[in-house]
Structure 1
Amino acid sequence: MTDYTTRRTMMVDTQVRPSDVTRFPIIDAMLSIPREDFVPDTLREAAYVGENLDIGNGRIMLEPRTLAKMLELADVQPGHVALDIGCGLGYSTAILASLCDFVVAIEDDAARAEEAQSLLSGHGIDNAAVMTGRLAAGSAKSGPFDLIMVQGAVEHLPEDLLAQLREGGRIVCLFAEAALGVVRVGHKMDGTVNWRFGFNAGAPVLDGFRRAAAFAL
């Protein structure tokens, strides 16, 4: 029988801690939440590898290092309400739910959203709700949010989504730029989101977040 507890510890010790992730609540969540339960059954043995996992239909589960560093940049706090875009089967949502007051997660695949909600409920996580809808639309009716995280790359962000961020809130995104993606954290002040560099990482661009192609005559 696979010892997933040992694999979780190795993931944190060899991928997360060496990546300058120092906040104990993040480390504790990644040590305690069973990542292998939030991947397709065929990927359970690969759940703790240090790379993005292909979960089907052009979607991935971010590698542990990338997710952990994004959470560090997010500075998520107890009392926060977070929006998790492209949650897959709910692992990122489970981690966020352990760090803040409530998480609204968005999935564009109804079956995947239903499975994610079932997995979260099965693990006793009752402060998260998975909704089906267009990823780029977010969930205006549930906002505004203290934090928005996007579980994949973006080329651009719709203004309607940025409007769902509370004044003083943060948004963490992986921008697809040339060959190497860039994770940035945006801080909303006086109605404007100001961005700063976080670190480099890679992931496929999510549906709805591609920049419109320019037409040339």
Structure 2
Amino acid sequence: MDFERARFNMVEQQVRTWEVFDQRVLEALMTVRREQFVPPAYRTLAFADVEIPLGFGERMLRPVIEGKVLQAVQLQKGEIALEVGTGSGYFAACLAHLGQWVHSVEIVPELATRAQANLEAEGFDNVEVITSDGLKALAAPGPFDVIVLSGGVPEVPRFLLDALKAGGRLFAFVGDERFMHGRLYTCSEPGKVRFEDLFETVVPMLRVPQPVAPALV
């Protein structure tokens, strides 16, 4: 398979047609080798307009969605990002390409280990993958310039909004399995956040741990 031609077609025929015109974002998608983050069994689908299974009930987002999110958050060199939902590590790699440092949180230990290995193999030494529940508490010290929730949530936890710097941006897919808004939150000053719905879509929900049943006595 000609990966370079497939990557070019992904950017030009899929991502750009979804009104992703930011040249920095398009360059990141052309540079980060998506095929290296896809499970080997699905490598020929690395650039297709589909969600790719990662195992453990998780899926990799479509390239057009990743491009839309990267364009929305406008991560700049020198900025620090937090991602909730590492998955394969590909989106964290794109953030790392655009910014200074990325803290990426993954609730599934096996996926966290695999993502860290993918990132290290591709030379990304400015990403920290943390095994934790990113919807329950901050897994890394803030505040952050950019926060991305890489899966659907019914609502954004307040502690994540409070972890934004003044001028910081948070992107989340807000809704349920039937309908979601791609929503961008912007912090004007501590405690003050406004939001804008940018597009409609449906993506996999972020995993919420099941409560542990009390032990019988």
TM-score normalised by length of structure 1: 0.90
- The TM-score with structure 2 as length reference comes to 0.90
For residues 20-31 of structure 1, what are the structure 2 equivalents within 5 Å? 20-31=19-30
Query: Closer, same or farther in 2 for the Cα pair 1:195/1:10, shift >3 Å?
Result: same
Whether the 8 Å contact between 2:101 and 2:126 is mirrored in structure 1 is yes
Cα pair distance change 1:151/1:138, threshold 3 Å? farther
Deviation at 1:140, TM superposition (A): 5.0
Q: CA deviation at 1:29?
A: 1.1
Residue 177 of structure 1: how far off its partner (Å): 5.0
Moved >4 Å (runs of 4+): none
Secondary structure of the 1:126 match is coil
- Kept in 2: contact 1:80–1:100 (CA 8 A): yes
Q: How does 1:170-181 map to 2 (within 5 A)?
A: 170-177=169-176, 179-181=178-180
% identity of equivalent residues:
32
Instruction: Report if the CA contact (8 A) 1:167-1:189 is conserved.
Output: yes
Q: CA deviation at 1:111?
A: 1.9
Number of residue equivalences: 209
Q: CA deviation at 1:57?
A: 2.1
Q: Residue 109 of structure 1 contacts residue 132 of structure 1 at CA under 8 Å; is this kept in 2?
A: yes
Task: Give the Cα separation in 1 of the matches to 2:156 and 2:181.
Answer: 14
C-alpha distance in 1 between matches for 2:9 and 2:129: 29
Query: Aligned runs of 1:64-103 on 2, under 5 Å?
Result: 64-103=63-102
| Residues 1:176 and 1:120: Cα distance change in structure 2 (over 3 Å) | same
52-61 vs 143-152, which deviates more?
Answer: 52-61
Structure 1 residues not aligned, in runs of 5+: 210-217
In structure 1, what is the equivalent of residue 207 of structure 2? 207
Which residue of 2 is the match for residue 153 of structure 1? Answer: 152
One-letter amino acid matched to 1:56? G
| Deviation at residue 58 of structure 1 after TM alignment | 2.4
Residue in structure 2 matched with residue 212 of structure 1 by the alignment: none
What is the aligned partner in structure 1 of residue 48 from structure 2? 49
Structure 2: state its 5+ residue gaps.
Answer: 210-217
* Contact 2:53/2:60 (8 A) holds in 1: yes
